[in-house]
Structure 1
Amino acid sequence: MNLYPAIDLKDGACVRLLRGDMAAATVFSEDPGAQARAFAEAGCRWLHIVDLNGAFAGRPVNGAAVDAILDAVTVPVQLGGGIRDRAVLEHWLERGLRRAILGTAAVRDPDFVRAAAAAHPGRVAVGIDARGGRVAVAGWAEATEIEAVELAKRFEDAGVAAIIYTDIDRDGAMQGPNLAATAALARAVSIPVIASGGVSSLDDLRALKACGAPLDGVISGRALYDGRIDLAEAVALLDGPDDAA
């Protein structure tokens, strides 16, 4: 399993939200490039970036911060937030982004997601953010009646590289991931699933690794910033044999 350190961008700074509330943002760094470099030097093999303002606006807002990150590191970067059309997608992929995450578009414009995945094999992922099992879009501000597993299955044959599944109620709350929902989603589809939301300790990583579902990776943010998880130790844990979990 890969560990994806999260850099959530709000007004140009690296922040963490509590359950997706933009008013409950804690600033951890004013220098996204330096933060990305620190994560890379600690041993991560991927970075997970979210343009929070962009997710609400429906267009890129923290572009300068994303550029700074791409310039600062050589590890692959995946980005979500505000990528709603082909022009924006092409811009970021040409700029050097390894993987674009399409979330709101997966609900509102699934044909665009399918076309993007076909045109860019291995470089388009679907972000599924759920509250109470139901998908939320537009920066988690709008609820839908679509079940997370149902949405994932809609893209089973689309060729998407991964599904990033976030349990909104756990995100930033430091209360552990939603193991049951994450494992159920991973078992329901053949698409690689990356878990997100609530990971706050090495024990949480061990639990995800041992959950019995074929998870591709896990995203962690706040716990890395405040030192609850040592990144190098976490990478070694996820790289180790399953019986070491």
Structure 2
Amino acid sequence: MQIFPAIDLRGGQVVRLTQGDYDQMDIYSPDPADIARKFKAAGAKNLHVVDLDGAKDGTLANFDAIRAIVQEGGLFIEVGGGIRDEERIRQYLDLGVGRVILGTVAITNFSFLKEMVAKYKEKIAVGVDAKDGFIAINGWKEITGTKSVDFCKELVEIGVKTVIYTDISKDGELKGTNLEIYKTLSELDGLDIVASGGISFEREITALKEMGTYAAIVGKAIYTDKLDLKRVIQLAEGNA
């Protein structure tokens, strides 16, 4: 199983939100590239980057910070947050990002998603954010009537390879993740599922690995030293 430590960006700084609430924000570093270096030193091969300003207002406020992270080299980087058109997709891919994540636009403009998947293939991932089993959009502020698991099945049909699935109720709480939903998703053929939201315990890494989860994102737990990134990577790779 792959591990993707998370770097969430706001105003060029590394931050973490609780349940996506911009009013519940902790700042961890003014230097995102330095955090990337530290993650790499701990054995990370991947990185999950979210532009929180982009997610909120569609700007490219953190583009320079993301460029600096990419220029560190040696990491496969996926980026999400405010990617709503093909120009933004191209900007990130041209920068050297390995995969871009479409969130709200994947729900609100399914035909656009299909077009981008057909054109860019595995370089397009979909972020599925769910609350009580239903998809949330627009920075998690709006809950749709679309069932998250049903939507994931549709994604398989149009050729989406990677889904980052977040249980919003667990995100940033440090109380554990929703293992039950990942067990359900692991039974969908043809999708690489990335578990995201609330992963706080070593036993969860082991459980996700055993159920065949492709990857897991770790965020707040490594920033608060609840989890040790080096140890998490070893567990995920079966080397612990």
Q: TM-score, normalised to structure 1's length?
A: 0.93
Separation in 2 of the partners of 1:10 and 1:169?
21
Partner of 1:237: 235
Structure 1 residue 73: Cα displacement: 2.9
Post-superposition Cα deviations, 1:68-87, rounded to whole Å, max 9, x if no partner, equal: 11112321100000100001
Partner of 1:161: 161
Gaps of 5+ in 1: none
Separation in 2 of the partners of 1:19 and 1:182?
19
Partner of 1:176: 176
Q: Is the 8 A contact 2:36 2:69 kept in 1?
A: yes
Q: Is the 8 A contact 1:153 1:189 kept in 2?
A: no
What SS does structure 1 have at the residue aligned with 2:165?
Answer: strand
The amino acid across from 1:170 in the alignment is: K
Post-superposition Cα deviations, 1:185-234, rounded to whole Å, max 9, x if no partner, equal: 23234211000011112122122223x3x310100001111212111111
Gaps of 5+ in 2: none
The amino acid across from 2:46 in the alignment is: W
Post-superposition Cα deviations, 1:71-122, rounded to whole Å, max 9, x if no partner, equal: 1232110000010000110111111010000011110111221211221122
What SS does structure 2 have at the residue aligned with 1:155?
Answer: helix
Residue 222, structure 1, aligned to residue 220, structure 2: yes
What SS does structure 2 have at the residue aligned with 1:194?
Answer: strand
What SS does structure 1 have at the residue aligned with 2:121?
Answer: coil
Where do 1:1-20 residues align within 5 Å? 1-20=1-20
Separation in 2 of the partners of 1:207 and 1:61?
37
The amino acid across from 2:14 in the alignment is: C
Separation in 1 of the partners of 2:184 and 2:60?
32
More displaced, 148-157 or 95-104?
148-157
More displaced, 221-230 or 171-180?
221-230
The amino acid across from 2:84 in the alignment is: R
The amino acid across from 2:129 in the alignment is: D
What SS does structure 2 have at the residue aligned with 1:22?
Answer: strand
Aligned in 2, Cα 1:190/1:220: closer, same or farther, shift over 3 Å?
A: same
Q: Is the 8 A contact 2:106 2:126 kept in 1?
A: yes
Q: Is the 8 A contact 1:79 1:101 kept in 2?
A: yes
Where do 1:1-245 residues align within 5 Å? 1-210=1-210, 212=211, 214-240=212-238
Structure 1 residue 66: Cα displacement: 1.0
Structure 1 residue 59: Cα displacement: 4.0
Separation in 2 of the partners of 1:128 and 1:207?
21
Separation in 2 of the partners of 1:73 and 1:148?
34
Separation in 1 of the partners of 2:107 and 2:131?
15
Structure 1 residue 159: Cα displacement: 2.3
Separation in 2 of the partners of 1:60 and 1:137?
19
Structure 1 residue 57: Cα displacement: 1.1
Name the % identity: 38
Structure 1 residue 40: Cα displacement: 1.2
The amino acid across from 1:218 in the alignment is: A
Structure 1 residue 60: Cα displacement: 3.0
What SS does structure 1 have at the residue aligned with 2:105?
Answer: helix
Q: Is the 8 A contact 2:161 2:190 kept in 1?
A: no
The amino acid across from 2:108 in the alignment is: R
